């Protein structure tokens, strides 16, 4: 959410930013916000004047009563009552105006970084850098569920009977591999100085609207019926929410946390939820990282965060690339974002396995996360988040890149301690 003062003094810049994100339907919101803001200030000024007048008149009533001028005092009391009625009317209007103003402000997208490429959707994202040499083996790579089934490692039919499409049972070595990757990612981030955390897996609505846009909320979040609780779509939500309505001392920054959680997503409007596989699903597990820092440090942290993911994947012999998200592919709160994509030998192309985002002060403004500087000055923190690893999607990349011609899957050295020292896993059936 933008600062109303910024919108007030830079309306054309806000409109151009909306155009750059190809959201022209939101352009009228800028003028509406300016009108609501002006009316809100008018109401406040009038209410303040009426209250000042009320205090002044109240003193007059006491003086008139003391002088025995009862009739004059009664006339003045009528004015006080009229002022009170007017204040009540204005206060009701003020509440309506402020609610509408807040909703509009939360719908207007954040100002994107000047370095973000302008484009309509993810087809116009820009490759930045590749890490590791993509390899196409001289044998056919099966579909990922076929690989898993060769290990008796997945049961989609049972999951469908139990929960419907978009769910899975992982079994045996594949389930162990899933847990090993999560445990390795946890320790990888701890070794990089992050504090490990297991957060709440449900959050209240004020946290949801604090960390994401209304469009994201509608497309992603599962609501708990009858309660003000939502299942998290990523632990970033509850991790950033941990700091709601707090004031941090400057020497407490940066806050660097890495968290484990299950994630639940409706995937509303998504394609592929009916497909046989675990690429796009309603439930998965994830290791996440978040940073809360001073504004001048967020750019440096952004580069550190995506590099962590690249380094993790490369330690497991998986080639990756970074892809700069264009303006039309950025969620409304994001200033800048980069996707990390892993190489798929079967598809002979890269696919997304994580996303790193700098949200500037947008989440901090919505959630009230402030910092008190050494000189006593208060300002909004910057927040960032990044996927460390999110199996089972990551398992697709892992299995395809580590599959051997005989059907075994090699275990990279970094992961072997988490797999009982095994250097390979062997299929149950060909």
pLDDT score of 273 more than 50 = no
Compute the distance between CA of residue 193 and CA of residue 30 in angstroms, rounded to an integer. Answer: 42
Under the banding of pLDDT at 50, 70 and 90, the label for residue 7 is: very high
Helical residues (DSSP H) of 191-288, grouped into ranges: 205-211, 214-220, 235-241
> Which is higher by pLDDT, 30 or 281?
30
Averaged pLDDT score across all residues of the chain = 92
> Which is higher by pLDDT, 58 or 160?
160
* Model confidence, pTM: 0.89
Domains and CATH numbers, the chain: 4-107 (1.10.287.40), 122-425 (3.30.930.10)
| Own/partner pairs, 297-306, CB within 8 angstroms, 24+ separation | 297/253, 297/254, 297/382, 298/358, 298/360, 298/382, 298/384, 299/358, 301/254, 301/358, 301/384, 302/336, 302/356, 302/358, 302/384, 305/356, 305/384, 305/385, 305/386, 306/338, 306/340, 306/356, 306/386
List pLDDT tens digits, range 200-245.
Answer: 999 999 999 999 988 888 888 999 999 999 999 999 999 999 999 9
pLDDT of residue 71: 67
Compute the distance between CA of residue 35 and CA of residue 359 in angstroms, rounded to an integer. Answer: 27
pLDDT of residue 334: 97
Kindly give, in sequence order, each residue whose CB lies less than 8 Å from that of residue 287, ignoring residues fewer than 6 positions away: 182, 185, 186, 189, 258, 259, 260, 387, 388, 389, 390
Tokens in use for 240?
């950033």
pLDDT of residue 213: 85
pLDDT of residue 306: 98
List pLDDT tens digits, range 365-421.
Answer: 999 999 999 899 999 999 999 999 998 889 999 999 999 999 999 999 999 999 999
């Amino acid at each position: 959410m933008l600062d109303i003062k910024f919108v007030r003094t830079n309306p054309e810049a806000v409109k151009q930013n909306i155009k750059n994100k190809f959201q022209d339907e939101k352009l009228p919101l800028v003028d509406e916000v300016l009108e609501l803001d002006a009316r809100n200030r008018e109401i406040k000024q009038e209410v303040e004047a009426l209250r000042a007048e009320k205090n002044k008149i109240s003193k007059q009533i006491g003086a008139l009563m003391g002088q025995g001028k009862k009739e004059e005092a009664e006339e003045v009391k009528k004015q006080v009552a009229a002022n009170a009625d007017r204040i009540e009317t204005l206060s009701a209007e003020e509440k309506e105006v402020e609610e509408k103003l807040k909703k509009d402000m939360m719908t207007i997208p954040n100002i994107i970084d000047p370095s973000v490429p302008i484009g309509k959707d993810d087809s116009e994202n820009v490759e930045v850098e590749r890490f590791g040499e993509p390899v196409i083996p001289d044998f056919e790579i099966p579909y990922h569920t076929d690989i898993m089934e060769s290990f008796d490692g997945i049961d989609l039919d049972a999951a469908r009977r139990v929960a419907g499409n978009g769910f899975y049972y992982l079994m045996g070595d594949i389930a162990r591999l899933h847990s090993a990757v999560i445990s390795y990612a946890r320790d990888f981030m701890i070794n990089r100085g992050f504090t490990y955390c297991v957060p709440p897996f449900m959050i209240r609505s004020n946290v949801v609207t604090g960390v994401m846009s209304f469009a994201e909320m509608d497309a992603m979040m599962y609501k708990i019926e009858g309660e003000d609780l939502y299942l998290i779509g990523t632990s970033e939500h509850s991790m950033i929410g941990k700091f709601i309505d707090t004031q941090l001392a400057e020497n407490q920054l940066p806050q660097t946390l890495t968290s484990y959680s299950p994630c639940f997503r409706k995937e509303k409007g998504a394609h592929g939820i009916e497909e046989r596989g675990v690429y796009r699903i309603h439930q998965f597990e994830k290791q996440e990282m978040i940073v809360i820092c001073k504004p001048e440090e967020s750019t440096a942290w952004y580069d550190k965060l995506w590099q962590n993911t690249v380094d993790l994947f490369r330690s497991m012999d998986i080639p990756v690339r970074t892809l700069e998200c264009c303006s039309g592919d950025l969620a409304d709160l994001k200033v800048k974002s980069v996707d990390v994509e892993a190489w798929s030998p079967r598809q002979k192309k890269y696919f997304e396995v994580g996303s790193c985002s700098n949200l500037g002060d947008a989440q901090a403004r919505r959630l009230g996360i402030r910092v008190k500087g050494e000189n006593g000055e208060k300002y909004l923190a910057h927040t960032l988040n990044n996927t460390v690893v999110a199996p089972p999607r990551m398992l697709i990349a892992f299995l395809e890149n580590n599959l051997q011609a005989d059907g075994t899957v090699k275990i990279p050295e970094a992961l072997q301690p988490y797999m009982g020292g095994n250097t390979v896993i062997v299929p149950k059936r060909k």
